[in-house]
Structure 1
Amino acid sequence: MIEVNNLHKSFGDNHVLKGISTTFEKGKTNLIIGQSGSGKTVFLKSLLGIFEPDEGTISFDGKIYSELEENEKRELRTELGMVFQGSALFDSMTVEENVMFPLKMFSNQSKSEMADRVDFVLKRVNLLDAEKRYPSEISGGMQKRVAIARAIVMNPKYLFCDEPNSGLDPKTAILIDNLIQEITDEYQIITVINSHDMNSVMEIGEKIVFLKDGIKAWEGTNKEIFKTDNEAVTDFVYSSNLFKKVRQAYIDEN
């Protein structure tokens, strides 16, 4: 479990995070949502250890990150998988080489062991036939799958995804959502996703944390979000007529 307790973060006079407390459990897809400027990117980067909180704590399975020794922090980082918004693949490396990169950097595995592990995760994301191709030779959706394969190649306990559906068509976005949820459940990973995609929220939001002006304004599931009367949430989620109709249909049925 990841436990966040009274998290504050400022940049100069800009108080971005204002006392956020929440938990993220393993085997669940946890989504962070909110408008631009709500603090969700700073929150995600704080969870990753990129930003150091001014106040409050972040615990990984009972270990408070700020209290760990440097070698313990390095060890914890090997348990973190990250899917970046733009995939962040190395253009000069093949798919296989991109996925193998973390193993070369952080593991002591033999070349054959690394190759076996890479084959395993590429098969899991249905990309074995693309292993010798370069990022420029594959589609955006395939690049996202490569990024997911690279993120899980070290068998992480924690998976973080920053706007994983950015730039994808709706059909491919659904495939990526389903893949992330399947991997989360299959390997019982603690997955935290920073997203603005309301389709993702409705489809895989097993827990949703809604931020507004640096404050946790609401949290719940994708089922509970249909029923909430929280004005900030309804203004954000149901800004389109489509979702208003979906919400009304859900209320009528229940």
Structure 2
Amino acid sequence: MIKVDNIKKRFGEEEILKGISTVFHKGKTNLIIGQSGSGKTVMLKCLLGLFKPEEGLIYYEEKAIQHMNEEQQRDLREEIGMLFQGGALFDSMNIEENVMFPLRMFTKQKKSEMLDRVNEVLSRVNLEGVNKKYPAEISGGMQKRVSIARAIVNRPKYLFCDEPNSGLDPKTATVIDNLIQEITHEFDITTVVVTHDMNSVMEIGENIVFLKNGVLVWQGNNTDIFNTDNVDVTDFVYSSDLFKKIREIQLKER
């Protein structure tokens, strides 16, 4: 569980986050959505400790990042998995080496132990037998699954995903969404996904935080979002072609 308590973040005179408070639940896919410039990425970087809020606290379980010493912050980083927007695989490393990288960084395991774990997570994302291939030799969807394997290889308690479906076709994006949700439930991870993809909202939005101009204006799940009368949310949601069609069907059924 991650708790955000009244965080505010400024750059110069511009206040980007304006007192946001919320909770991201363990064992659920927590989504942060909103228009460009709403503060999604800044909030993600605050959660990761890359940006320090001017006000407010961010708690991992019961401990605020701001109150952690250097050793505690290092320990926390070892409990975090990150799925980057572009995958961020190392082109010069094969798949096995890419997935093993966090184990080399954060553990003192033997090579055989690391390899066993690499094969375990590659199997979990349905990518057996690709160990010696390089990122350029596999598809974009496969690259994203490799990135997921790397993100979970250290058995993280927290998983952060930044636009995980960026550049993927709808069918592959759904596969990635479902895989993220399955892993979240299976390993009881606190997963936070920043996305603009309304298909993701519909597929895996178990806890959705909607930001507008740095303010949290609505929170609910993928069922609630269809029924809300919050104008900011409905304007955003029904600007999607997919949701326009869903809305038309709903109105016809009434």
Give the deviation of 1:243 after TM superposition.
1.0
Structure 1 letter corresponding to 2:136: S
Residue number in structure 1 paired with 2:54 = 54
TM-score scaled by length of structure 1: 0.98
Residue number in structure 2 paired with 1:69 = 69
Residues 248 and 68 of structure 1, relative CA distance in 2, 3 Å threshold? same
Residue number in structure 2 paired with 1:100 = 100
Q: CA separation in 2, counterparts of 1:56 and 1:250? A: 41
Q: CA separation in 2, counterparts of 1:77 and 1:43? A: 17
Residue number in structure 2 paired with 1:114 = 114
* Secondary structure at 1:44 match in 2: helix
Residue number in structure 1 paired with 2:18 = 18
What does the per-residue CA deviation read over 1:158-190, in whole Å, with 9 as the maximum and x for residues that have no partner? Answer: 000000000000000000000000000000000
Of all paired residues, the percent bearing the same amino acid is 67
Residues 216 and 16 of structure 1, relative CA distance in 2, 3 Å threshold? same
RMSD of aligned alpha carbons: 1.2
Runs ≥4 residues deviating over 6 A: none
Residues 180 and 251 of structure 1, relative CA distance in 2, 3 Å threshold? farther
TM-score scaled by length of structure 2: 0.98
* Secondary structure at 1:56 match in 2: strand
Query: Is 1:124 the equivalent of 2:124?
Result: yes
Residues 176 and 17 of structure 1, relative CA distance in 2, 3 Å threshold? same
Q: CA separation in 1, counterparts of 2:88 and 2:241? A: 35
Q: CA separation in 2, counterparts of 1:115 and 1:244? A: 47
Q: CA separation in 1, counterparts of 2:250 and 2:77? A: 41
Give the deviation of 1:247 after TM superposition.
3.1
Q: Which runs of 5+ in 2 are unaligned?
A: none
Residues 235 and 85 of structure 1, relative CA distance in 2, 3 Å threshold? same
Residue number in structure 2 paired with 1:171 = 171
Q: Give the length in aligned residue pairs.
A: 254
Give the deviation of 1:10 after TM superposition.
0.3
Q: CA separation in 2, counterparts of 1:65 and 1:231? A: 34
Q: CA separation in 2, counterparts of 1:193 and 1:72? A: 24
Residues 142 and 241 of structure 1, relative CA distance in 2, 3 Å threshold? closer
Give the deviation of 1:240 after TM superposition.
3.5
